[in-house]
Amino acid sequence: MYLDQISFNNFRCLVDGKLKFDRYFNLIYGKNGQGKTSLIEAVHFLATGKSFRTKKVKEIRKYNLNRLIVFGKYRHKDLSENIIAIDVNEDKKDFYIDREKNKYINYVGLLNIISFIPEDIELIIGNPGIRRNFFNYEISQAKKEYLQSIVNFEKILKVRNKLIKEKKTGEEIYKIYNEKFIEEGLNIVLNRREFIKKLSILLNLNYRKLFDENSELKLKYDCFLGDVEKKTREELKEKFEILCRRKSEREKFLGYSLLGPQKDDFVFELNGKNAKAYSSQGEKKSIIFSLKISEIDILIKEKKEYPIFIMDDIASYFDEVRKKSILSYFVNKKIQCFITSTEDLGIEGKKFIVEKGKIINE
């Protein structure tokens, strides 16, 4: 798929307007602080309903304005098109698919996007919550039912926590919610296990191909249930129930749930060593880049469509040699790219010059 057009009103510093993109390569070019990142952030926001820079929607609305609208038209490989839009009023977001108001859960994953931005390094060095959020979104893009499980689980967890806090763990209602907690928790665990297994194989292949053929890169699922490899759902359920019983006194004492997939983590291991603790800056960037490429591979396989790709500030990531090999990777794969840069990259496509928020297509 590819994004054919976008229009925006009141998005950060951008001057309101409509842009028509190249099917393949779009260079967003300009000096620092002109609005390049804001433009790819608008593309990301249109696709996901989220910014990659902030959780606060207030920060992406133009200073002192309450309303923000992004609107886009994307095409599938058979050239059929869809129109999507997000209308933000204060902090409330309304999602539109083909001009009809729709639920967020139906909107997510329509326009598939993979991004590569400097903040992604947090996926290795940041806290587990960052990795959980990231993989939750990525698995949801490939598999809609997973997002539904996450939404259900969060509601169930809230009730379970409330019942523990109110010391109602002896009541029938707690038993019902605990059972739901285990079942939905297991759905999440099994999906994560399957996704990470596939991703880890691709990650290693891509890392070796792009960066170092003598290395071994693994992504491990650090599940709260311990080793979940090769275990059946029944075996995992039994383990989950035992853990619930074992932790119940401590949970009552503290007043919240101490176990569940909300405690999971994911670990990158380069040559048998945890990348967070041992890998160099360059290696970390290469791991993240390989991760993003592997996600593209997964989306192509699962959805039979190419996602779009955005990359912020390519020069800050890679030296000349790597930059060239990365750019030629995208050119060969025929993926629609949006890349910001302070220098001209000399690749065929469209060039958008950004100056004080104004975008000119050269």
Ligand X SMILES: Nc1ncnc2c1ncn2[C@@H]1O[C@H](COP(=O)(O)OP(=O)(O)OP(=O)(O)O)[C@@H](O)[C@H]1O
Amino acid at 326: I
Q: Which is nearer to ligand X, 61 or 73 (CB)?
A: 61
Per-residue CA distances from 73 to 62, 81, 99, 125, 201 (Å): 23, 7, 11, 36, 34
Bind-site residues for ATP: 30-37
Closest separation in Å from C-beta 361 to ligand X: 16
- Which sign, positive or negative, has the C-alpha torsion 11, 14, 19, 22? negative
| Residue 232 CB partners (closer than 8 Å, separation 6+) | none
The residues pairing with 72 across neighbouring beta strands, listed in sequence order, are 6, 84
Q: Which is nearer to ligand X, 53 or 237 (CB)?
A: 53
Closest separation in Å from C-beta 14 to ligand X: 8
Q: Could you tell me which of 265, 285, 283 has the C-alpha nearest to residue 273?
A: 283
Q: Which is nearer to ligand X, 13 or 151 (CB)?
A: 13
Q: Which is nearer to ligand X, 30 or 109 (CB)?
A: 30
Closest separation in Å from C-beta 31 to ligand X: 7
Binding stretches for ligand X (CB under 6 A): 12-13, 30, 32-38, 59-63, 313, 340, 354
Q: Which is nearer to ligand X, 48 or 51 (CB)?
A: 51
Closest separation in Å from C-beta 7 to ligand X: 17
Q: Could you tell me which of 340, 347, 344, 324 has the C-alpha nearest to residue 210?
A: 324
Q: How far apart are CA 345 and CA 96, in angstroms?
A: 35
Q: Which helix (H) or strand (E) holds 304?
A: none
